[in-house]
Amino acid sequence: MSKLQELIVQYYEENEDKKIFEKIIHEIQTCDKVWSAFSPVTKNHFVDYVQGRPTAFIFSEKEYCTQYAGHMKEEGFEVGSAECSVQNRLALFTDYHRSGFECVSVDNGKRYIVIELTELINIPDFSDEPIENRPVINPSLVCSADRFFQCLAAKKVTPDKHMNMLVDTYNAKYVIPVEGEVKENSVTIPALERSDGLKVIPFFTDIAEYRKFDTNGRFNVALADYTQIESLCNSGETVVINPMGFNLTMTKKHIDAVRNAINSVPNSGKAERAVIFTPDRVPKNLIDGLNVILDNTDGVIAGYIMGLRKSSESQYLIIVDCGDADPEKTKELIQSIKDEAKDIETKETVEYIPASSGIGQTAIANNRPFFQKVIVDIDLDEEED
């Protein structure tokens, strides 16, 4: 067992002692080697969601990472491992920030701990700098695109994942290679020939992705935004974002999809990110109270509890299965349950929705109810005189 794994075990055995937590942070930062979960599909760190937050996965032993990869393969996802020495640890955590991670899961599959990325690295704040002095990074786009293509390969893409990637593509700033100098706001972008012979125009989310393309510093660098992608595609060109990474192809067809996505989200131009997840812990008083209420409510056959994270806030999502009840009756039942449960104390907000709704069906898929009403039909033979 690695020293890091020993510390994690000790941390929980001693009631999440703060001093042990500090030792865990120090060990993560300074131990000789760790292994980071890597996606061959996107050629970047593997991203998953823990309690609704984009999370990277590191392991104190390569064997642990291999076991995690085996588990994820059963779920349909390809996961590899990337060894990281202590000399490259800061660069790893910086790259996690570039890739849109908020948390780091350590030794998933063993006794694991989830840590805020900000506990491991000081993330620079450029908000006071002039726009021209800020580095170009697009954590939201890298994260949403990586997740989309991982799920696409696993055949688990959902509409919200596609929507988020399209909206992030529209809102992003880009780095582009330039041949020669910028003249009268006109630039020449070198084309990249793909293995199928098609010549494409490369755009990059950040300098790290750009350097995978221009390894010898052959070109100058300029900044661009989505309007340039739209213009190129409308003129018949094919643009590829991060060709050495998630490799998002943009054509006229794709920019139409982006436009449709933008037109379907709020005026802010940003999609509301709502992520359903399985909560690690649910207050016992919430479960106990809901069990009593649901059991005493005629017409309810099952209840599920999930986590819902949106706008950076988490809440509990109670999904109520009212069987064949019509929509109006279902609405009445759920309102009655909400009224009954209003005195149950929880730190998080609790939202109640019907299992028949679109979100409800998504939330309960492949999940087991915490409450299920048992209905037994008993046939009694009539006694003969």
Domain boundaries, the chain: 3-119, 131-263, 274-372
Residues 6+ apart with CB under 8 A from 88: none
Residue showing tokens 């109670």? 318
CATH domain 3-119 topology: Trna Endonuclease; Chain: A, domain 1 (3.40.1350)
Which runs of consecutive H residues, i.e. helices, occur in 135-283?
139-153, 159-171, 207-213, 226-234, 252-263
Residue showing tokens 């003969």? 384
List of the chain residues with pLDDT < 50: 385
**For 83-117, how does the pLDDT look when each residue is reduced to its tens digit (9 = 90+)?**
999 999 999 999 999 999 999 999 999 999 999 99
**For 59-81, how does the pLDDT look when each residue is reduced to its tens digit (9 = 90+)?**
999 999 999 999 999 999 999 99
Instruction: Measure CA 172 to chain center.
Output: 18
pTM above 0.85, yes or no: no
Taking CA atoms, 208 is separated from 45, 175, 202, in Å, by: 13, 10, 14
Euclidean distance between CA atoms 363 and 278, whole angstroms:
9
- Looking at residue 207, what DSSP letter applies? H
Under CATH, which number does the domain 274-372 receive? 3.30.70.1350
